[in-house]
Amino acid sequence: MQIVYNTESFSDKIREYKTRGNKITLIPTMGNLHQGHRVLFSKAPNSSIKVATIYVNPLQFNNIDDYQNYPKSLQTDLEVCRQNNISLVYAPDGDVSDEIVTEKSIDLPKFTRYLCGKKREGHFLGVFKVVKYLFSIVNPDFACFGKKDYQQLLLIKYLASTYFPKTNIIDVETVRDSNNIALSSRLTRLSKESYGSTFRIYETLQNMKQELLKGTSFDKLKKESIEYLKSNDIHVEYLDVRSLITLEEETDKLKSCGIFIACHIDGVRLIDNIEI
């Protein structure tokens, strides 16, 4: 495994792979790698070179404290990459924002203004900029992204189809622990007690799904679910039924829909979703 810390070295290594005719799978991460990332790594086609990036992107944080407190564990992360047959890791030394050249005006799809985009101003613009930057260097044959960040996944698919049509986006199912907690790097910031309560998020989504399929009113379920979570110190930011294609709100037609949630526990923001 090779590790590069600047864009020039990264570009040189990618050029070498391409000259040899290798196909490349790109797996962008923000580090603090866990089992969810291992699964992302495992979904890369075996015939391709696996390239991972480890970079906490400041452009996608709307809260400076969240950015500064984002968990970092580079040496451990590099060992995880070694164990998972990553050939090349790009871990920039500093902030690469100045290297990112983008259009003066970027018109993102309407769906980026919903859910996380509604509360986190500039978040998806930041994601768009850094992923487009990485794609422009690598022009990957494949790229792996998880369904837990479903809204982000839709944006990546839009980006690929618009600017990198030869890149195949591989979406990977949400990875959960034995209590069905969606794995997230932010979980490491929770107290043991709070971590023990987070199973209620997925439990709530599952209960809502079952009741919706029975014909129970969504508004009634939403009110009860928010109250239940609040009583367990989980504060809901949003809880919606949305189209899996457009992310438009849906409460009557459940086909091709999912239930999406963002909530806060111990000041840590967590997201999850399930398909109906």
- Asked if residue 66 lies in contact with residue 92, where contact means CB atoms within 8 angstroms, the answer is no
Q: Would you list the DSSP string of 141-195?
A: SEEEEESTTHHHHHHHHHHHHHH-TTPEEEEEPPPB-TT-PBP-GGGGGS-HHHH
Give CA–CA dist 17/22, Å, rounded. 5
Torsion of CA 12, 77, 171, 88, to 10 degrees: 20
Pairing of strands 49-54, 88-90: parallel
- Asked if residue 123 lies in contact with residue 131, where contact means CB atoms within 8 angstroms, the answer is no
CA distances from 1 to 44, 93, 128 (A): 16, 18, 28
Helix (H) or strand (E) holding 105: none
User: Quick one: CA dihedral 39, 40, 45, 50, positive or negative?
Assistant: negative
37, 123, 235, 264: the catalytic one is 37
Is 37 marked active-site? yes
203: which residues sit within 8 A by CB, 6+ positions away?
180
E strand spans, the chain: 2-4, 24-29, 49-54, 88-90, 142-146, 168-172, 235-243, 257-265, 268-275
Beta bridge partners of 52: 27, 89
- Asked if residue 81 lies in contact with residue 195, where contact means CB atoms within 8 angstroms, the answer is no
Q: Looking at the annotation, which residues are catalytic?
A: 37
